[in-house]
Chains A and B, each alone.
With several copies, the nearest count.
Chain A
Amino acid sequence: MDIFEFPPGREGYYGEYGGVFLPEILQSTIQELQECFRKCKNDEKFWSEYIEILKNYSGRPTPITYLPNLSKQLGGAQIYVKRDDLNHTGSHKINNVIGQGLLCKRLGKNRVIAETGAGQHGFATATMAARFGLDCTIYMGEVDVARQRPNVFWMENLGAQVISVTDGQKTLKDAINECMRDWVSNMADTHYVLGTACGPHPFPEMVSWFQSVIGLEAREQLLELTGSLPDRVYACVGGGSNAIGIFQGFLDSDSVELIGCEAGGLGVESNLHAARLAYSDASVGVAQGFKTYFLQNGQGNMLKTHSIAAGLDYIGINPIFSYLWEEKKVRFEAATDEEVKEALRLTMRSEGLIPALETAHAFVTAIKEAPHMGRNEIILINQSGRGDKDIFTIADALDDQKWKSFINEKSDQYHREKY
């Protein structure tokens, strides 16, 4: 099944989802982008240049790690982890960003803008911009700036301008709105590096294409390591880029079950979560340039979302997933903040891995299901990022007293310096 073979007149649509819903002023820009992307996708040299940079700059292919201790402890399926946390800048976000950077050069533009939630995409974009010699502006919700300051610090030191967005919920979706506002003004020299498989066509297809490198590698590596395909593949789903990335290695194989793990936040009836498909609060809508399931009220206004993981805290979902979910090709589950902390603890202690809070959502679901699977079954989890960046959030979540004292002392030191 090639989800990117659109029927005539339905380019950019996955079933009912996707499309382009943008102001007329961007029509020529998005068309230029679609054409450029189409050319790149049909140009083998583009892909090989892309892979070459990922290899020499970002350290791809990332390995697959078998988790003997956790597998044994859970007593069911054998657990394998695809290590995209080992990428340069610490997450899968760099894949997409390098790809769009190359594309930006083909477009002849010298400036990039990007939204960021967790900060990972902004960090990756700022890195790529430094490397490719592009001007760079990053939009980030004020709430996220506060919870992801280390990433902001690095973005700025990499030469990017970080703009704190104070509209709306002051999180990812509002940063996307600000990007749109910048883009409609500066499209002549500016490429919008959207960070996930959302937004207007060709973004979902383009981001998926770049992220497919994860799945292509993983399929081959797992076959080499185990001689077989996984029985289940788990990935966390914010916008849905790392998940579609790894899933593309297995979409053709009916024996492989694909599970997208969303942010359950405070739980199923809390109204404070970001589970679009796993819970039943979302409905189909059109916003931020595309049609998909959104967490919105009956009037079409977006709901407040919440997750311990800034990178999953988004109202909409990859339109491809809305389709694949309806087609029953992908199952969706949610993990709550509490479950995430538990899974993180377990993974750190048993295997020496520190998944990002986003990633830990995939671990939660895998850990729940592994014991009910056979010893000869295989689970593959996509470790989309590393947890280092989350130290403030994790320390807060775990209520770590030593960390708090440290921060208090640091603050005292700064106060003393002032006088």
Chain B
Amino acid sequence: MSLAEYIQEKRKTKDILIMAHVVCGYPSFEDNIRALEIMQSAGVDLVELQFPFSEPSADGPLFVQANEESLKSGTTIGQCFDFMKEATTLFSFKVLMMGYYNTVFKMGEEEFLRRLVKAGGTGFILPDLPLEEAVNIHSLAIEKDLAPIILMTPTSSNERLAKLGAASRGMVYVVARKGVTGSKTVIGDNVLKLIEQCRKHTDVPIAVGFGIGGRKDVDALRGHADVAIVGSAALRAWKRSGASGLQDLFLSLSR
């Protein structure tokens, strides 16, 4: 089942899905598994596994530190794929790879996709790979039934959204605001208008991320977006109160 089909199927019974985010190897792979268990039991629908990179320039301080710490503790791409395999075997949510293009480039796009398939991944998000540079990997991905996630943003012109929409597969990631991950976004009219605008240019489900902090934000997106992406908020909860904090956060979202 492709990513779009999976989301559409789930949406029949849920008015909004939740996508969570985990930085591989941070604080440790054991903690990652614990986090995924909590997410699974709280009914999370999608998880993006971030492969750590030394120059995470689109990330905010929390993820920057997580990337750094994970690398410092020796995390390799092999371990990330192994972990993904484990996750896709143990859990029922769909898993996406998230990371920076150099990780893919160094491995080779073909090889990367082959391993992604093998690990059970559903798609990938590469925030620093613009459409123009993605032509090859996108067509390879589509051949393999992987979703190459495209990002739409508040600074994208209509012309640009049309281009992005035409290339979109599986799901579109709508960036709710300017800036990096981590800081709070108020889901107001401008976000809803942005979603509406994006909808005009794509048929695939729409996920909204960047600064989704809790139940209130998810409620605000209900009826507008298909998926709410909870990234830094989860990491913040974990750092503040560990597994129980994470559990509280995700339970509150599905309550």
Query: Is B178's beta carbon under 8 Å from chain A?
Result: yes
Query: Is B54's beta carbon under 8 Å from chain A?
Result: yes
Contact A181 B105 (CB under 8 A): no
Q: When A27-B156, A181-B60, A300-B53 are in contact, do A21 and B101 touch as well, CB less than 8 Å?
A: yes
Query: Is A29's beta carbon under 8 Å from chain B?
Result: yes
Q: When A177-B55, A184-B179, A187-B178 are in contact, do A286 and B102 touch as well, CB less than 8 Å?
A: yes
Contact A296 B60 (CB under 8 A): no
Which residue of B59, B76, B127 contacts A24 across the interface (Cβ within 8 Å)? B127
Q: Which residues of A (153-180) have their CB < 8 Å from a CB of B?
A: 167-168, 173, 176-177, 180
Query: Is B189's beta carbon under 8 Å from chain A?
Result: no
Which residue of B100, B127, B180 contacts A181 across the interface (Cβ within 8 Å)? B180
Which of the four size classes fits the interface of chain A? 35 or more
| A362 neighbours in B (Cβ, 8 Å) | none
Contact B130 A27 (CB under 8 A): yes
Contact A25 B55 (CB under 8 A): no
Contact A27 B155 (CB under 8 A): yes
Query: Is A301's beta carbon under 8 Å from chain B?
Result: yes
B150-193 vs A, Cβ < 8 Å mask (1 yes, 0 no): 11111111001000100000000001001110000000000000
> Complex Cα distance A201/B42, Å?
44
Q: When A21-B130, A24-B127, A185-B180 are in contact, do A300 and B156 touch as well, CB less than 8 Å?
A: no
Contact A21 B58 (CB under 8 A): no
Contact A168 B55 (CB under 8 A): yes
Which of the four size classes fits the interface of chain B? 35 or more
Q: Distance in Å from the Cβ of B44 to the closest Cβ of chain A?
A: 25
| B53 neighbours in A (Cβ, 8 Å) | 300-301
Contact A24 B164 (CB under 8 A): yes
A300-316 vs B, Cβ < 8 Å mask (1 yes, 0 no): 11100000000000000
Which residue of A173, A186, A187 contacts B55 across the interface (Cβ within 8 Å)? A173
Q: Distance in Å from the Cβ of B173 to the closest Cβ of chain A?
A: 9
Contact A21 B129 (CB under 8 A): yes
Which residue of B55, B133, B157, B160 contacts A302 across the interface (Cβ within 8 Å)? B55
Point out which of A24, A28, A283 has the most chain B C-beta atoms below 10 A from its C-beta: A24
| A181 neighbours in B (Cβ, 8 Å) | 57-60, 179-180
Query: Is B245's beta carbon under 8 Å from chain A?
Result: no
| A352 neighbours in B (Cβ, 8 Å) | none
Contact B57 A288 (CB under 8 A): yes
Contact A296 B106 (CB under 8 A): yes
Q: Which residue of B lies closest to A179 (CB)?
A: B57
| A26 neighbours in B (Cβ, 8 Å) | 155
Q: Distance in Å from the Cβ of A179 to the closest Cβ of chain B?
A: 9
Which residue of A24, A184, A283 contacts B130 across the interface (Cβ within 8 Å)? A24
Q: Which residue of A lies closest to B126 (CB)?
A: A21
> Complex Cα distance A326/B199, Å?
46
Query: Is B71's beta carbon under 8 Å from chain A?
Result: yes
Contact A287 B102 (CB under 8 A): yes
Q: Which residue of A lies closest to B150 (CB)?
A: A24
Contact B133 A21 (CB under 8 A): yes
Query: Is A63's beta carbon under 8 Å from chain B?
Result: no
Query: Is B103's beta carbon under 8 Å from chain A?
Result: yes
Q: Distance in Å from the Cβ of B148 to the closest Cβ of chain A?
A: 13
| A8 neighbours in B (Cβ, 8 Å) | none
Q: Distance in Å from the Cβ of A136 to the closest Cβ of chain B?
A: 20
Q: Which residue of A lies closest to B58 (CB)?
A: A23
Contact B105 A300 (CB under 8 A): yes
Which residue of A22, A168, A286 contacts B105 across the interface (Cβ within 8 Å)? A286
| B58 neighbours in A (Cβ, 8 Å) | 23, 180-181, 184
Query: Is B128's beta carbon under 8 Å from chain A?
Result: yes
Which residue of B52, B103, B130, B154 contacts A22 across the interface (Cβ within 8 Å)? B130
Q: Distance in Å from the Cβ of A299 to the closest Cβ of chain B?
A: 5
Which residue of A167, A188, A283, A286 contacts B101 across the interface (Cβ within 8 Å)? A286
Q: Which residues of A (203-251) have their CB < 8 Å from a CB of B?
A: none
> Complex Cα distance A286/B54, Å?
12
Contact B68 A20 (CB under 8 A): no
Q: When A168-B54, A181-B60 are in contact, do A25 and B178 touch as well, CB less than 8 Å?
A: yes
> Complex Cα distance A177/B64, Å?
10
Q: Which residues of B (54-84) have their CB < 8 Å from a CB of A?
A: 54-61, 64-65, 68, 71, 76-77
Contact B77 A299 (CB under 8 A): yes
Contact A296 B156 (CB under 8 A): no
Q: Which residue of A lies closest to B129 (CB)?
A: A21
Q: Distance in Å from the Cβ of B103 to the closest Cβ of chain A?
A: 5
Contact B106 A168 (CB under 8 A): no
Query: Is B143's beta carbon under 8 Å from chain A?
Result: no
Contact B102 A296 (CB under 8 A): yes
Can you give 22 A-B contacts (C-beta < 8 A)?
Answer: A19-B133, A20-B133, A21-B101, A22-B130, A23-B128, A24-B127, A24-B130, A24-B153, A25-B151, A27-B160, A168-B55, A168-B64, A173-B55, A184-B58, A184-B178, A185-B178, A283-B106, A286-B105, A286-B128, A289-B128, A300-B107, A301-B53
Closest 5 CB pairs of A and B: A300-B106, A185-B179, A301-B54, A300-B102, A180-B57
Hey, which bits of chain B sit against chain A, CB under 8 A? Answer: 52-61, 64-65, 68, 71, 76-77, 100-103, 105-107, 127-133, 150-157, 160, 164, 175, 178-180
Besides the contacts A167-B61, A287-B55, what 7 more A-B pairs have beta carbons closer than 8 Å?
A20-B130, A24-B151, A27-B156, A27-B160, A29-B155, A181-B57, A302-B55
